[in-house]
């Protein structure tokens, strides 16, 4: 009984619903997405998402990418996504799942690891939402994804 009450309070472990996305977050296919209007480096962008019970977005399908692309095209600038090749150069992993990329949408000539120093994943509105590897310490806008229904507060 207590655990049932706890599950209700903490939120179920199923995917989010459109009703469970907080104000300012956009619902798409069982996730809630947050498009920042502040800029941070990749590490701090991830930390920001975690404070809001989410992770930098993992774009795992063409459909999810199409959703992100449609949102990003209406905005300007680059957005951090939740992938890096910091662990092994050239091997891209989603940080929220530790899965190696299956689907990818890199722009022409990318990832190019320019000057050996580009290990963090971003999408660029000017490239119609195609992906690029950027320098992790750059301050950019970012996108958080919250996959589970979270606590009511936060
Ligand atoms: C993008 O902007 C166009 C034109 O203002 C609008 O019709 C469309 O709904 C917007 N798309 C999104 C995803 O906000
Ligand atoms: C990069 O991704 C790996 C694997 O997902 C993760 O363990 C690591 O914390 C990420 N960040 C950095 C700065 O390496
Ligand atoms: C490599 O990618 C960066 C963006 O991350 C871009 O500015 C640069 O022009 C690219 N370099 C080459 C040689 O394509
Ligand atoms: Ca995702
Ligand atoms: Ca790299
Ligand atoms: Ca690059």
Give the model confidence (pLDDT) of 115-126 as tens digits: 989 999 999 988
pLDDT, tens only, 55-97? 999 999 999 999 999 999 888 889 999 999 999 999 999 999 9
Closest C-alpha to 25, from 4, 52, 61, 2: 52
Residues 6-31 have a mean pLDDT of 75
Residue among 27, 66, 74 to mutate when testing ligand 1 (max atoms within 8 A of CB): 74
Q: Is the pLDDT confidence value at 149 over 90?
A: no
Question: Measured from the CB, is residue 111 less than 6 Å from ligand 3?
Answer: no
Residues 6+ apart with CB under 8 A from 61: 103
pLDDT-above-90 percentage for the chain:
74
Q: In the predicted model, is pLDDT for residue 19 greater than 80?
A: no
More confident residue, 7 or 15: 15
Give the span between the Cα atoms of 97 and 117, in whole angstroms. 24
Query: Is 130 within 8 Å of 123 (Cβ atoms)?
Result: yes
Across 33-37, 109-113, 128-132, least confident range: 128-132
Structure confidence at residue 15 as a pLDDT band (50, 70, 90): confident
**Lining residues, ligand 2, CB within 6 Å:** 43, 84, 86-87, 93, 95, 98
Nearest partner of 129 among 50, 69, 84, judged by Cα: 69
Using the mean position of ligand 3's atoms as its centre, give its distance from the Cα of residue 24 in Å: 33
Name the CATH superfamily for 34-142.
Mannose-Binding Protein A, subunit A (3.10.100.10)
Percentage of the chain beyond pLDDT 70 is 87
């Amino acid at each position: 009984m207590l655990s049932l009450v706890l599950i209700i309070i903490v939120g179920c472990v199923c995917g989010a619903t459109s009703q469970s996305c907080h104000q300012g977050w956009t619902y798409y296919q069982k996730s809630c997405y947050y498009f920042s209007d502040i800029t941070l480096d990749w590490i701090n962008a991830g930390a920001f998402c975690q404070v809001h019970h989410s992770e930098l977005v993992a774009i795992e399908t063409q459909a999810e990418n199409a959703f992100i692309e449609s949102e990003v095209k209406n905005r300007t600038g680059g957005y951090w996504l939740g992938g890096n090749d910091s662990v092994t150069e050239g091997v891209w992993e989603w940080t929220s799942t530790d899965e190696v990329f299956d689907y990818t949408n890199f722009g022409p000539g990318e990832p190019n690891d320019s000057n050996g120093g580009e290990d963090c994943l971003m999408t660029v509105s000017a490239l119609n939402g195609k992906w690029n590897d950027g320098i992790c310490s750059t301050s950019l806008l970012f996108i958080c994804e919250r996959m589970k229904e979270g606590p009511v507060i936060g």
